[in-house]
Amino acid sequence: MHNQLQYISQGNTVEEQVYNIHKALDNGCDWIQMRFKKNYSDDAFTLAEAVKMLCKEYLATFIINDNVYLAKQLEADGVHLGLSDMSVEEARLILGKTKIIGGTANTFEDVLQRTTENCDYIGLGPFQFTNTKQNLSPILGLEGYRSIIGQMQAKNIQIPIYAIGGITLENVESLMETGIHGIAVSGLITQTENASQLINQLNDKLYVTI
Ligand SMILES: Cc1ncc(COP(=O)(O)OP(=O)(O)O)c(N)n1
Ligand SMILES: Cc1ncsc1CCOP(=O)(O)O
Ligand SMILES: [Mg+2]
């Protein structure tokens, strides 16, 4: 089973990205999603090589946002795909059975689709407004998670759900109570001045509720 905390990277340059990812790893994150929106550039390859080495050093899981070919080239642990990205089926053919493929969902219908596609986990959100991503899908709030997870339970659908979007420390307990498996966070960890304390506090809240 995957770790309950996924860090989604930020940074406009390779250097900023490496700094932020190193900070997350050094303070206890062991699952990194490299999210670099210049994902099809030489810089993306340079960054992915650096992140691969860092994740190896810290024994962390390394997945790449959007770019399945880069994940294949770098032998990353997997990818995260949105509903408008490459299909899970095509990604599975390229990456093989053992790699992690995460998929985005915003509705119960998306969850059904992702489950049929055999995703390994679902990033369900956004929980609330965030500046990290433009063109957000409708905000779910706690009620959205309760409703979607209730419908999953009624149909006995079992797939790890990660809440995403504007999550802060204060939200984690109530989100976990809805039945999610974990959280994916970006801004919270990127912007903190005390990453060690924050990641410990997040992990305490995540582990207690499972
Ligand atoms: C864990 C997780 N969940 C959702 C997303 C969003 O993916 P997507 O909808 O493709 O948007 P971008 O991140 O590509 O802008 C994610 N990245 N990770
Ligand atoms: C990539 C993504 N997809 C939905 S919300 C989001 C951004 C998550 O980042 P943050 O934790 O800073 O809100
Ligand atoms: Mg995407």
210 residues of the chain, pLDDT tens digit each: 678 999 999 999 999 999 999 999 999 999 999 999 887 789 999 999 999 999 999 999 999 999 999 999 999 999 999 999 999 999 999 999 999 999 999 999 999 999 999 999 999 999 999 999 999 999 999 999 999 999 999 999 999 999 999 999 999 999 999 999 999 999 999 999 999 999 999 999 997 554
| Cis geometry, peptide bond prior to residue 126 (ω within 30 degrees of 0) | yes
Residue 185 tokens read as 């966070």
Measuring from each residue's beta carbon to the nearest atom of ligand 2, which residues come in under 6 Å?
Answer: 8, 125-126, 130, 132-133, 164-167, 185-188
In single-letter form, the type of residue at position 39 comes to N
Spatial CB neighbours of 90, under 8 Å, sequence gap ≥ 6: 68
Annotated binding site: 33-37, 65-66, 85, 104, 130-133, 166
Q: What is this structure's pTM?
A: 0.97
